[in-house]
């Protein structure tokens, strides 16, 4: 299990989460639409974070349980079909076969794949488990900039030093096949132009870990400041990490076996 290195009490944490949402919500929503989410669905979102996906799910599903250790950003969601829980998914009680959809983005890579069987058990027979995770297979910039690449590598390395796997995304399909049928996966990347709001994903993640990176000796504070300046250059394009979405449906016979215990 990895330690979560981002401080959820940091003053810019909601803005950092908004940067992630801006980049990835459209693709996540497209996958869910293709899976047929509808008014009869009962959904669980783990690591609900800023709550944007929770609100989107609530507008389409019958009931949504949004779970996170820190629910401060979820409390603004006041919908009759949303239930907010401040719980640890690794330890809390989950209803057996209680959800048509269990969904999590950028969560399991931090808490560890050992939680996946618990998530499978919470899905009803024929229901869907959908997980999304980063794969930092490549994250170049055009035109190339060695200092920015060093800064990005140091940022990824800072998170990885706590036990997080930067290529966890490619492992998802194999992990899900152990408990689900019809496992499928796809990956998507974003091209981000310098000087746009989409650079918030990079900027605020680097800023959140800035002191920790400097403390490692990988970069000086001045070098980080120079790298952040690259994000404002309109002629520069940044390629995001891949976001891998993997999903499958719970096997009916597994649910029958669990009910016999």
Question: Model confidence over 52-110: pLDDT tens digits?
Answer: 999 999 999 999 999 999 999 998 999 999 999 999 999 999 999 999 999 999 999 99
Helices and strands, number each (H, E), in the chain: 10, 10
Q: Is residue 140 in a domain?
A: yes
**Residue 6 within a domain:** no
Label residue 67 left, alpha or beta by phi (over 0 means left) and psi (-120 to 50 means alpha). beta
Q: How many domains does the chain have?
A: 1
Task: Please give the helix or strand (H or E) that residue 123 lies within, else none.
Answer: strand 123-135
Residue 4 covered by a domain: no
- Is residue 115 in some structural domain? yes
In contact, 99 and 45? CB cutoff 8 Å: no
**2 in any annotated domain:** no
115-139 per-position pLDDT tens digit: 999 999 999 999 999 999 999 987 8
Q: What gap in Å lies between CA 49 and CA 67, rounded to an integer?
A: 9
Angle at 113 between CA 111 and CA 116, to 5 degrees: 105
What CATH number does the domain containing 182 carry?
A: 3.40.50.150
Per-residue confidence band for 178, with pLDDT thresholds at 50, 70 and 90: confident
């Amino acid at each position: 299990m990895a330690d979560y290195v981002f401080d959820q009490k940091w003053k810019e944490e909601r803005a950092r989460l908004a940067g992630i949402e801006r980049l990835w919500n459209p693709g996540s929503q497209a996958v869910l639409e293709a899976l047929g989410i509808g008014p009869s669905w009962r959904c669980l979102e783990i690591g609900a974070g800023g709550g944007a996906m929770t609100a989107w799910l609530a507008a389409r599903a019958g009931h949504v349980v949004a779970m996170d250790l820190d629910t401060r950003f979820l409390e603004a969601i006041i919908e009759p079909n949303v239930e907010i829980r401040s719980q640890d998914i690794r330890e809390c009680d989950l209803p057996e076969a209680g959800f048509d959809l269990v969904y999590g983005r950028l969560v399991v890579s931090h808490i560890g794949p050992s939680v996946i069987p618990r998530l499978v058990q919470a899905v009803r027979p024929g229901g869907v488990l959908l997980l999304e995770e980063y794969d930092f297979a490549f994250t170049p910039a055009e035109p190339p900039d060695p200092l920015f690449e060093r800064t990005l590598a140091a940022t990824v390395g800072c998170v990885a030093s706590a036990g997080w796997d930067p290529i966890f995304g490619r492992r998802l399909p194999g992990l899900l096949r152990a408990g689900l049928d019809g496992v499928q996966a796809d990956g998507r990347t974003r091209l981000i132009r310098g000087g746009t709001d989409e650079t918030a994903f990079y900027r605020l993640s680097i800023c959140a870990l800035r002191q920790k990176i400097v403390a490692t000796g990988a970069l000086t504070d001045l070098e980080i400041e120079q790298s952040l300046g690259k994000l404002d250059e309109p002629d520069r394009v940044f390629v995001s990490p891949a976001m891998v979405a993997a999903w499958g449906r719970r096997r009916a016979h597994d649910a029958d076996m669990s009910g016999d215990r």
